[in-house]
């Protein structure tokens, strides 16, 4: 009966085994995976916009080639994650409709503008760095297709993080104006990067169940703290300061204390009132409309091809 399936599911999760698409799973488990994986995919797709803004204005051919490769990787991560979400019975068209109509989210971080070239470095170092801190544990997520997608994506994110760090190092060691540009970018991207990890644990709607199901392996605050501890020595090596006067090493905690996060800003961005929310969604809808002919052509070809196959 149904309880036998539920027991088998619970035993598999308890034993750190993977749940695969054909396995029985609780409806809520499926629903929270579709929610998280779809929004993860949406984040990758929207995340192409801030950086694409600088592809035509990169300062050298080398930097242009690196940035193009990174943006193409983000597209691939999005498509990879939409495919993983489809293994749960979700339809890509429906997920995109939900994104375009605001019924599904994408990461708050992409609602901030990229004002100078140094922002490309700050995004690589901080945003992709935060993504790695969040995604490495997801390689151990109980749902097989998501965990396996994360293994591949984390490898590419490491390249994204290294190129951003190296870009900032070049600027930081450059002229005074270049150093100031790098510092300004870090000042603008630091706090929004900490918000990527989600609301504080005691305000997190999904954490308890997500952790019980071994989807989320560490809490929002735990991963945020881990990220801060990673960034402090890296900022020192970059010769840049982090914009938090309360940041200091706490010996007995074995972690860095840091200042308060502006959760009202976070809530405003999630309500759609961030600096670039309208621009990002408008550009996404336009890209979707302009790409309709490609989808129609592919569908027509598939239909013709299938007829030939099945006569």
Q: Which stretch binds ligand 3HC (CB under 6 A): 203-211, 224-232, 250-258, 302-310?
A: 203-211
Contact call for residue 127 and ligand 3HC (CB under 6 A): yes
Q: Which is nearer to ligand 3HC, 23 or 221 (CB)?
A: 221
Residue among 91, 93, 84 at smallest CA distance from 40:
84
Q: Which is nearer to ligand 3HC, 38 or 235 (CB)?
A: 38
Determine which residue in the list 19, 25, 33, 36 makes contact with ligand 3HC, applying CB under 6 A. Answer: 36
| Binders of ligand 3HC in range 210-229 (CB under 6 A) | 210, 216, 220
Q: Which is nearer to ligand 3HC, 134 or 142 (CB)?
A: 134
Helices 27-46 + 61-86 axis angle, to 10 = 160
Contact call for residue 199 and ligand 3HC (CB under 6 A): yes
Closest approach, Cβ 81 to ligand 3HC, in A, equals 9
**Bridge pairing between strands 248-250 and 255-257:** antiparallel
Q: Which residues lie closer than 8 Å to 274 by C-beta, 6 or more apart?
A: 108, 111, 112, 268
Contact call for residue 52 and ligand 3HC (CB under 6 A): no
Residue among 129, 228, 115, 225 at smallest CA distance from 180:
115
Q: Which stretch binds ligand 3HC (CB under 6 A): 19-27, 57-65, 85-93, 206-214?
A: 206-214
Q: Which stretch binds ligand 3HC (CB under 6 A): 31-39, 235-243, 274-282, 285-293?
A: 31-39
Q: Which two tokens stand for residue 129?
A: 């760095």
Hey, how many other C-beta atoms are within 10 angstroms of the C-beta on 93? 9
Determine which residue in the list 13, 33, 74, 146 makes contact with ligand 3HC, applying CB under 6 A. Answer: 74
Q: Which is nearer to ligand 3HC, 105 or 140 (CB)?
A: 105
Contact call for residue 161 and ligand 3HC (CB under 6 A): no
Closest approach, Cβ 229 to ligand 3HC, in A, equals 18
Site string for ligand 3HC, 78-117 (x = CB under 6 A): ---------------------------x-xx---------
Determine which residue in the list 53, 87, 116, 204 makes contact with ligand 3HC, applying CB under 6 A. Answer: 204
Residues that bind ligand 3HC (CB under 6 A): 35-36, 39-40, 43-44, 47, 74, 105, 107-108, 127-128, 131, 134, 157, 195-199, 204-207, 210, 216, 220, 270
């Amino acid at each position: 009966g149904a309880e036998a399936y539920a027991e088998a599911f619970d035993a598999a999760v308890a034993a750190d085994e993977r749940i695969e698409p054909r396995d029985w799973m609780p409806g809520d488990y499926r629903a929270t995976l579709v929610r998280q994986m779809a929004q993860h995919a949406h984040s990758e797709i929207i995340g192409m916009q801030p950086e694409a803004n600088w592809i035509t204005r990169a300062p050298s051919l080398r930097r242009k080639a690196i940035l193009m490769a990174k943006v193409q990787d983000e597209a691939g991560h999005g498509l990879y994650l939409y495919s993983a979400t489809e293994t749960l019975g979700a339809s890509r068209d429906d997920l995109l409709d939900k994104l375009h109509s605001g019924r599904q989210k994408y990461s708050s971080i992409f609602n901030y503008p990229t004002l100078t070239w140094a922002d490309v470095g700050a995004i690589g170092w901080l945003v992709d760095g935060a993504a790695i801190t969040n995604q490495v544990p997801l390689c151990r997520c109980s749902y097989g297709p998501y965990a396996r997608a994360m293994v591949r994506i984390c490898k590419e994110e490491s390249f994204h993080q290294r190129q951003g760090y190296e870009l900032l190092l070049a600027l930081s060691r450059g002229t005074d104006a270049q150093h100031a540009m790098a510092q300004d970018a870090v000042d603008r991207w630091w706090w929004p990067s900490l918000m990527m990890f989600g609301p504080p644990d005691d305000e997190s709607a999904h954490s308890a169940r997500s952790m019980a199901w071994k989807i989320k392996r560490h809490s929002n605050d735990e991963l945020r703290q881990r990220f801060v501890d990673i960034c402090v020595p890296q900022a020192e090596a970059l010769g840049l300061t982090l914009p938090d006067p309360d940041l200091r090493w706490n010996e007995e905690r074995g972690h860095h204390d840091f200042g308060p996060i502006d959760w009202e800003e976070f809530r405003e961005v999630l309500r759609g009132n961030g600096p670039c929310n309208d621009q990002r969604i408008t550009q996404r809808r336009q890209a979707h409309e302009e790409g309709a002919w490609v989808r129609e052509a592919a569908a027509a070809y598939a239909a013709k091809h299938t007829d030939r196959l099945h006569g």
